[in-house]
Amino acid sequence: MHDGFRFRKIVRQRLAEERELHPYARIQDYYKLLYQSAFGMEHLVQDWNQFSLFLNHEMSSADPDVSIPLIKDITIFHPVARINLAAAAASGITVDTITRMCVESMRSFKPLTPSVFTTLLADFLTIMINDPFSFTVEQVNTFRSTISDNIFRAVHHSDIYRSLYSPHYRLVDPGTVDK
Residue 153 is classified by DSSP as S
CA–CA dist 18, 70 (Å, integer) = 15
Q: What percent of the chain has pLDDT over 90?
A: 53
Q: What is the pLDDT of residues 70-111, one digit of tens each?
A: 999 999 888 999 999 999 999 999 999 998 898 888 888 888
Burial degree of 6 (CB within 10 A; 0-12, 13-18, 19+): exposed
One-letter amino acid for residue 38 of the chain: A
114, HSE (Cβ side, Cα atoms, 13 Å):
4
8 A C-beta contact, residue 14 and residue 36: no
The pLDDT confidence band at residue 5, using thresholds 50, 70 and 90, is low
107-155 per-position pLDDT tens digit: 888 888 888 888 889 899 999 998 889 899 999 999 999 888 777 778 8
Question: For residue 4, is pLDDT > 70?
Answer: no
Predicted TM-score (pTM) of this structure: 0.90
Stretch 160-174: mean pLDDT, rounded?
A: 93
Burial of 134 (0-12, 13-18, 19+ CB in 10 A): exposed
